Structure 1
Amino acid sequence: MKTITSRDNAQYKDLLKLAGSSQARRKSGRTLLDGVHLCQSYLQLRGLPEQCIVSESALRKPEVMEIVGQLESRRAHVLGLPDALYNAVSQVEHGVGVMFLIDTPERSVTAPVTVSAVLLDNLQDPGNVGSILRSAAAAGITQVYCSAGTAFCWSPKVLRAAMGAHFVLDIFENVDLAALVSNAQVATLATSGYATSELYDVDLRQPVAWLFGHEGQGVAGDLLSMATHQVVIPHLGQIESLNVAACAAVCFFEQLRQTR
């Protein structure tokens, strides 16, 4: 284990930039996974990180020592930080004291959509994006395509909300969704509060591409007109509409119900 004790260390300054800047994460192609659950999920599903960063006090916690032990037995890189330095990097208040530095996958669209997938059009709230990724993974969907205006999927807030879903999904970012929809080999279903067809009346036993839009404006008009179906989720009460992440979860699990 290597230890850094100075705030002026170049490697430490790099960690601070990654923690606090989305631009730095995008430019470097790296991000930080903060917390035991994310680190354990990455180890199980993806393998070794570029580096493990651990706080001094966390080394007394059994769950952290188990992770560090696994890494050291496989000769992975582990960096120790005094608590004050670690807490300046961590974005989690009262966190456990362990994080992974990882490379973020870069994927280009090379083939049309042929399986059930999720298309996110300009979703800007990281919590919503992460929740949708988590629900998609739980429902057995493996492909997610994001427009350029959608929140960066590998940001700390999205990662925490998704709870490890990233590691079982193929995530494509900065995608031309119009081109993707026009070439899709499966039906495209867009949710809209103005649709006349209800979700529960649509046959979902075949693969579909789910299209969800901006939290306030919904799916862009050009994309909406290209969709095979526009559906609405019926609801009672005086609430105008569902949160987009809740809407996505209802859609995914209605499809799962029908296919089962």
Structure 2
Amino acid sequence: MNHRPSTVLIVGATGSIGRHAVGEALQRGYTVRALVRDHARAVRVLPDGVDLVIGDLTRPETLSTAVDGVDAIVFTHGSTTSERDVRDNDYAGVANILKTLAGRRTRIALMTAIGTTRPGVAYAQWKLRSERLIRASGNPYTIVRPGWFDYNQPDQRKIVMLQGDKRQSGSPADGVIARDQIARVLIDSLHIDAADHKTFELIADPGPEQEDLTNVFASLTPDSVESLDAAEDIVDLPTESEPEMFRDDLATITAGSLKAGD
């Protein structure tokens, strides 16, 4: 990572994780821009000092102002467990932002979910595809797969990062984490070099929260630049068998990355 970003775009800023991410980023001294669809709602729920930009993740033509001049993007948006909703919002939002960047280098933090690699789970596969686009984009990035929100006990604040996505019960038994801690990890990843090219599941264990997460990030295996998948994942989704929508997006984003690297 060449430098600490200064201006961060929060995608999904008025959501339950996004609001925490906005607060965390402001506290860390970032200039914060929020991509919002409803200006009146954003004014109600977000603090002063946030640059509100109106746009819609599903409409690429509305996104250029949002990404203009930012050097970091934090994706906290998420919809339902409907395959169509995740495809048309969660996945398409990532694809549309990356295509709008057109290869311009930007530090990225993406929130998906624990269990993203569960075989045969259609909505999870679209989250996985959004991760693949981030890896193919050529940007420095961190991909965070939180456990179940807010099932943690009050004394369960020790941040733990796992790899390989091995917990796949589809219940809080897979791991739990508080919303404010998810936001903290996303924002911390922007300025900790050891977080770059890391993908992990995020949970909390009993104990106090760490003041510095550098060593936790450093303990993780980095993703290979030769692969679309995370370092320790087991995934059976051959690119040639993937939906045309994904293959087209991948080709566009990869071409943008190669052009930027010329």
**TM-score in terms of structure 2 length:** 0.32
**TM-score in terms of structure 1 length:** 0.32
Which structure has the larger Rg? 1
